[in-house]
Structure formats: C-alpha cells, structure tokens
A and B are shown apart, each in its own frame.
Chain A
Amino acid sequence: MKLVSEFRDPQLAAHLIKAMYRTSRRAVSLMEVCGTHTVAISKNGLRQMIPSPISLLSGPGCPVCVTSNRDLDKAIAVARQPGVILATFGDMMRVPGSYSSLSKERAEGCDVRVVYSTMDALRIAEANPHQKVVFYGVGFETTSPTIAASILEAKKRGITNYLVLSVHKLIPPAMKALLDSPELNLHGFICPGHVSVIIGSRPYQFISEQYHLPCVISGFEPLDILQSILMLVQALETGQAAVHIQYRRGVREEGNPVALRTLDQVFEVGDAEWRGLGLIPESGLKIRRKYRSWDAEEFLDLDVPAPRKAPGCLCGDILRGIKNPFDCPLFGGKCTPESPVGPCMVSSEGTCAAYYRYERYRVQDEDRGRRGEVPQLKPAG
C-alpha cells in the first residue's frame, strides 16, 4: 500500500538501528505517549531491536484506557435509560466499568450500537426519530473534531434527537501532569502523530522550553518510530531540547486549521478525570452552551453509583509509565483479552493488550534463558 509499505523497509530499518548503536552512549527513558505507537512497537519487535540502554515506556495515550470508571459508569447509566440508543466506537464495548460494561448491558437488553463514525450515529438518529441517540464521545484531539463536525451537521440538518456524552481529553495537559510527577524519570517524548495532525507541533513547545526535554512527533510505521527514536537519542547526546516533526508527510507546525476551527466552535476546555492521573485541570472538552441542545449532560438525569476500582489492577500505574504490564499480578492470569479486568487489556491500543499479544513469550523465553534453560522446539507433525 502506497505511503505505508515504503516505511516498512527492513534494510532501512537496519540502517537506523546501526545508527542508533553508533549514537547511543547512555541509558535513556523515552515515552511513547500514543497507544497506536505502543502497539506498533510491540507488534514489530522494535523494543528488542534497539540498543538496550534505550528504554521505551508507554504513556497515557489510549483514550479507552484513560477513561475513568466514573465516566464509564455514566455511559452505562445512559444506556439503561428508556428510549435511549447508545452509540459508540467498538473499543468501548468490553471495557469494564465499576459494575458492568456496555457489552454486558447490551446482552441484558439495552440498545447499544457500535459505529465506525459519528456520521453513522447521525444516520441512526434520523432513522429513529422517537428515540434519543446518545453518542458516547471518547477520544483525543484526533477524534474530537469528528464529534464536533457531527454536532454541526445535526444542527444543519435539524436532527434534535442526537446527543453527545463528551469525555474527550487533551494530550498536552496529560504530558504536563506526567512531567510534574516526581515518580517518573523521563528523557524525551515520542509525541502522537495523529493528535499532532490536528494540533500541530506548537502545543508541545512548553516541554522543551520549561522542562528541557526533546520531543519528536512520530509517524506509525516501523521506520517512522525508529527514526524518531534516533532523533531523540541524537538530541540527548548533543544536549538539544526542541520539538521536531518526523512525521512530516502528515503533520504541519500549525496543525489542521479547519479541524481546529470546528473543534473550537463546538467545544470549550474543561477539567477532566483521567484513570491513573486523576483530575487534570483544563484537560478535557465540554460542549459549549451554544450547542447545549446536543449535550447529553443537559438532558439526562442520571443516577450513577459511586465508582469502584478493580482490586489488584495496575492500569493506573501502567498509564503513568511507572509500571509495565509484567509488574501486574493479574497480567496473563486473571486478566487476559478474553477476560479483561482493566481497560489496558481490552483496548486494541492498550499497553497490556499489546504486551499480551506480542511480547509475553519474549519475556518467558528471556526468563528461561536466564535460568539456563534452552527452549525446545516441538518436532514437526
């Protein structure tokens, strides 16, 4: 596929890795903020290819994972309301809230529908004029403009039974919250490529100016990520702290002005609760009063029980980059993709799901190697 396969060339990847070995002099911890990067790193085995002094930590960039139990419970309460169709992206279905999940609620008879786009939710609203269609809006700056566009479209077409329950979040304030936390020792960020398609590179300037850390906005193919790691290592070795764009084919310094205008038209910044990071001021998006006719918060009188945390689940620590999935006592035993306890194991972009799918045998083999055991191959047939 054009613009994809060229960035998967193994020979060029080998060049980049050799360059990293030539450049890397000291131990550094780099955080990939975005869940899509986490999956690409695990799936392509990049962690094992790069020099061992370079550690890659996963951050809070999976929107499904950082949605708090309180916000999940609220969506479940909405789904239980009579006359409501709850529409959402597929990733949200199996995420356990405090007491249930949207998937379980659907099995119990609630009308919960998976959509690919907000425009699908609008079509459902048009086809069901006597019901309220509530779109459960989860996502970062990549996705929130699509939700804003759907509200503008609903207004234009006079669709009044379409509502949005917004738990949208903003990435730069979460990065600031991580940097202000004393528990994390970071040397640089691999910044999210598709969030940056919308917001551009300027919102990360504070990281280089105030915290003196380099940032590289990266694409998602193996060569993109390897080049971004090399750029960060080079910056650290030469003592530079600046924001660079590796993903130049998609990201402009100013972002996407059309999407930013749409976003600003419909949403305003508000506080948001993040799993693992708690309440972060001005890190969420609320629907402006001008568009309150499409704001589910205005219409639904919800009785939501107090949230509860799954005992033993380390998703919160994993999202802050201070633990990895192998530190969690539930990982791979009580918590698997088939029977997830925490959201990081449910979402296709969750750190635990990525480690479970692509890296769990590596660690088992490394453990056996340390014990001096040689993995035995089964004879064919």
Chain B
Amino acid sequence: MCLAIPGRVIEIDGDQAEVEIGGIIRRASLALCPPVRVGQYVLLHAGFAIQVVDEEEAQETLRLLQEIGDIGEIS
C-alpha cells in the first residue's frame, strides 16, 4: 500500500499535474508536494505527488554503487 512510483511532470495546472509514468499519463494532485517544475520527477502515491525526486542524489547513489564494485575489483 505504501507503493510510490516516479513519474515525470509534463503539465501543471494549479494544484493538479499531468504525470507521465512509463508512457502512461496520469492526473495527480500536487496538494502535498513541495514546489515542483515541469520536467522534474515526482513520487506518485494514490493519486498524489508526495515528493520531488532529487535526480542528483539518484546519480550520486549510482556512482557510489559503481565505486563499491571498483573497490571489489581492486581488492
């Protein structure tokens, strides 16, 4: 029940947005979401955007994971 899926905001109209998830467009409420811009990703849960996804942090996590692999290959 606590599932939330990342989707890209493609249009904002007041506190409503259209969010694209894997090619499907869904309408979502922005009533619970911190400020967001078109093009950013949000986590969608039960018809509400509940957070803006920090894409830099996502890249940083992937970089860290790659680093763990590199250390493993050296040692």
Contact = CB atoms under 8 A, between A and B. Distances in A.
B15 to A, nearest CB: 9
A261 to B, nearest CB: 9
A257 interface: yes
A323 B28 CA distance: 39
Given A250-B51, A259-B32, A19 B1 contact: no
A201 B31 CA distance: 22
Contacts of A347: 1
Contact of B2 (A140, A251, A262): A140
A89 B2 contact: no
A61 B3 CA distance: 12
Contacts of A119: 29, 47
A279 B2 CA distance: 22
B3 A194 contact: yes
Interface residues of A, number: 61
Interface in A3-27: 3-4, 6-7, 9, 11-12, 14-16, 18-19, 22
A2 B8 contact: yes
B2 A34 contact: yes
A341 interface: no
B43 A194 contact: yes
Contact of A143 (B8, B22, B46, B65): B46
A344 to B, nearest CB: 13
A246 interface: yes
SS class, residues of chain A in contact with chain B: helix
Interface in A100-155: 116-120, 138-140, 142-143, 145-146, 149, 152-153
B1 A349 contact: yes
B61 A120 contact: no
A116 B46 contact: yes
Contact of B50 (A11, A257, A259): A259
A135 to B, nearest CB: 11
B12 interface: no
A230 B71 CA distance: 14
Contact of A223 (B33, B47, B55, B65): B65
A249 B69 contact: no
Contact of A246 (B33, B46, B61, B66): B61
A45 to B, nearest CB: 19
Contact of B61 (A143, A220, A248): A248
Given A139-B1, A347-B1, A6 B47 contact: no
Interface in A308-343: none
Contacts of A262: 31-32
21 contacts: A4-B6, A6-B62, A7-B62, A11-B69, A19-B72, A63-B1, A89-B1, A118-B47, A119-B47, A138-B1, A142-B4, A143-B2, A146-B48, A194-B43, A194-B45, A194-B50, A227-B64, A227-B68, A248-B57, A249-B61, A259-B50
Interface of A: 1-4, 6-7, 9, 11-12, 14-16, 18-19, 22, 34-36, 61-64, 89, 91, 116-120, 138-140, 142-143, 145-146, 149, 152-153, 192, 194-195, 197-198, 220, 223-224, 227, 230, 246, 248-251, 256-259, 262, 347, 349
Given A146-B32, A146-B45, 4 more contacts: A15-B66, A35-B1, A116-B47, A194-B50
Task: Sort A-B residue pairs by CB-CB distance and give the 3 closest, nearest first.
Answer: A117-B47, A15-B69, A249-B58
